[in-house]
Structure 1
């Protein structure tokens, strides 16, 4: 029997409450919602760290930041000599493609790569504009549309070159809704996102790397564009789903982290509030043992993502590989808590620990915040117990 094709579909900086299937009301996401209805949605999924590089490096290695050494987007003790996700997929007999954002470090130097992306981006996409201040000058065909076309060509090439019986593994990695949120045309009647839910709590430079007490009009425009970009990403997810047959393809959808969007007076990420740390995670298609349309309330952690992908492909595991197979109810039930790690720009190691009743954020020696996670008590993490 042919093993399933595997689509690892990821987005960047997508908070859970931006999606209808997670209770969101300020963006319309019919395609991701439909995918969740066909598969299994994890309510309590947390990234390995609320920042790009450490979270994505966990996908690559199957190990937590304290093991692989990438504590934030800049601090690095990587690479690892053990087989990484893509090599493991190839060793398991899969045709492998990685399309879109990687953000692994160390990156190749200019002399080691053919630099075709940035000239194309600067000339054909941004048309020379500063995209952080002039998003309206973006070209109509943005990166996600190009990636979907590349995905279609990759699937066709695999069938043509290797035959229909050789399975493929594709990591399709969308860049949006990571800022700058590039919306040439906002939807008609679009309303800004809700005001940030609460004032800043006790903030220390070692804990938060971005803070703002109030929002200038441009920041409110950014928030509006974020919601519109989520709708655009959802449309591109829908286009990608047209290419695959979920009867023969296993699909895992998730994000590397969320986005604060001004909640608690904080922008972007790198903090252990749920808006930045908690992520959407959906399994669908071939090989999913849990009931379709189910909402799984056990925890899912960043290391569970590569473990699940490797188990689906019968790919080899590296020594020290963490995580459980999220397809299996008995394995998922073993996740009693989730841990996240982050080294901030001040060199202060932070750890977040969350379980069914509480969340605690600490540095090397000090408890910073403790939140009560009892349903209905403090859903927006406004009241620290310390």
Structure 2
């Protein structure tokens, strides 16, 4: 049994607990297939449908127009492990106990997405990057790919060579076109694996987590993608390294460490941005190829496709790449689009504020399953069908960050190599380190406004319509005191509402939940 099973017993809860039926009059397609296509570290505002001047992901944009998409979708935390565990469990990191990339085995919940899918008779698969509490014994088809290549499964000659090449990049970048063409790239090989597995299923409904390790570093791509977005053609950034001091000491430390690890990265910043854009188009072409495979196999019409990211990337914001500190929208806002049977098509974004933790309860209702106890996400199924829903429920959304404790600062030991943040040789740099991830922060988005607040009472307030790079902190401006107080009150309501409900009382008290697991109606 897994470590999580022991935690389930500790919580005093049977994993078969359910409180209410999720059908609730919704028209759920019988046994639709579900594919979660996840990109790793994809910045939402670099899509043309978001107003970006370059056409980075035309197929994803066209697919979004055939379904429902959100431009106020947020991760649970801007780090892979916490975000992915939250998606699979429908719970914030404060409840899963996975607040860093190094606590995956501590995941705390009653049931996750793969438990429910198996109970509903679905075949299950992971094709791609895991970086969650999920393990091979719980999945019917396990085909892992990570940032340094494919798992131990049989590889083609090109695959073997490309994976060796990836390991030479030390999780940084290749400033030249990568070798071996598109056939070596991981998303291409993943489409082959996914297609092969679907062929084996006959009429069995399936859940597939198709999880690409791109456009996360190491930043690399082959031709023609390498040359599609030349550095000189990229839009000018609204911020630069000159704004690091405005953003604060954590950002300055991150830039210092990044400069030590990725020597000369500032000189290469435009090329890095260019490669990132090329990776987006490469991903987009493989998304199109996967959909073509579904159509050719005759399963597309009964398949719900969710395209999402676990978090974003600075992509040059504040002169930085990757991720690391703060809850800026560059890192915390994610693309989220749903397409498939029963989902209404709209060319414009849905106005709701939604979270990655809302994915699991939504899929529960799509499958006709009960929403497990302990869930903090809300089902989006009524929204996706254009049915009535309480607008107040989705007028704001929260994001969490930090592994806890006090902030590490420049006054503490600054041997970044000894700590493991910066490699002792080569170009390695791990931006999720002791300094960048210490402390605890919360973020609230509501309409055009954004509040960030930490455990020391430091506050940030931004108007995202006027200040998309979040440089003009209005928190102490008396002219915005009413808005600030409303945002603080809203954040407090979120914090109280998502206190972990498990374990529930063992006797007498009856635990009540709203339809669709709504929190605020």
TM-score of the pair, normalised by structure 1: 0.88
Task: Report what 2:307 is aligned to.
Answer: 253
| Cα pair distance change 1:149/1:341, threshold 3 Å | same
Listed as ranges, the matches of 1:1-386 within 5 Å are: 2-75=30-103, 78-80=106-108, 82-105=110-133, 117=151, 123-128=160-165, 130-131=168-169, 132-134=172-174, 136-140=177-181, 141-159=184-202, 164=203, 166-185=204-223, 186-188=225-227, 190-192=229-231, 193-198=234-239, 199-200=243-244, 202-205=246-249, 210-211=254-255, 216-244=266-294, 245-270=299-324, 271-288=326-343, 290-329=344-383, 330-331=388-389, 333=391, 334-343=393-402, 345-346=434-435, 347-373=438-464, 375=465, 377-386=466-475
Judge conservation of contact 1:300–1:332 (CA < 8 Å) in 2.
Answer: no
Judge conservation of contact 1:15–1:257 (CA < 8 Å) in 2.
Answer: yes
Structure 1 gaps of 5+ residues are none
Bigger helix fraction: 2
Root mean square deviation of aligned Cα = 2.8
Instruction: Supply the distance in 1 between the matched residues of 2:108 and 2:45 (Cα, whole angstroms).
Output: 35
Larger radius of gyration: 2
Instruction: Supply the distance in 2 between the matched residues of 1:67 and 1:142 (Cα, whole angstroms).
Output: 36
3-state SS, counterpart of residue 127 of structure 1: helix
Judge conservation of contact 1:79–1:106 (CA < 8 Å) in 2.
Answer: no
Task: Report what 2:488 is aligned to.
Answer: none
352-361 vs 274-283, which moves further: 352-361
Judge conservation of contact 1:299–1:332 (CA < 8 Å) in 2.
Answer: no
| Cα pair distance change 1:29/1:331, threshold 3 Å | same
Q: CA deviation at 1:2?
A: 3.6
Judge conservation of contact 1:39–1:294 (CA < 8 Å) in 2.
Answer: no
Instruction: Supply the distance in 2 between the matched residues of 1:177 and 1:5 (Cα, whole angstroms).
Output: 26
1:37-92 deviations in Å (ceiling 9; x for gaps)? 11111011011111111111111111001100111223567233522111211111
3-state SS, counterpart of residue 295 of structure 1: coil
Instruction: Supply the distance in 2 between the matched residues of 1:381 and 1:145 (Cα, whole angstroms).
Output: 36
202-211 vs 88-97, which moves further: 202-211
149-158 vs 306-315, which moves further: 306-315
TM-score of the pair, normalised by structure 2: 0.66
Judge conservation of contact 1:206–1:348 (CA < 8 Å) in 2.
Answer: no
| Cα pair distance change 1:183/1:158, threshold 3 Å | same
Number of residue-to-residue matches in the alignment: 374
3-state SS, counterpart of residue 273 of structure 2: helix
Q: CA deviation at 1:361?
A: 1.3
Q: CA deviation at 1:123?
A: 4.0
3-state SS, counterpart of residue 11 of structure 1: strand
Which of the pair has the greater relative contact order for Cα pairs under 8 Å at 6+ separation? 1
Structure 2 gaps of 5+ residues are 1-28, 137-141, 145-149, 404-433, 476-521
Instruction: Supply the distance in 2 between the matched residues of 1:215 and 1:188 (Cα, whole angstroms).
Output: 19
1:213-246 deviations in Å (ceiling 9; x for gaps)? 9953323221110000000000000011112244
| Cα pair distance change 1:359/1:16, threshold 3 Å | same
Instruction: Supply the distance in 2 between the matched residues of 1:88 and 1:196 (Cα, whole angstroms).
Output: 44
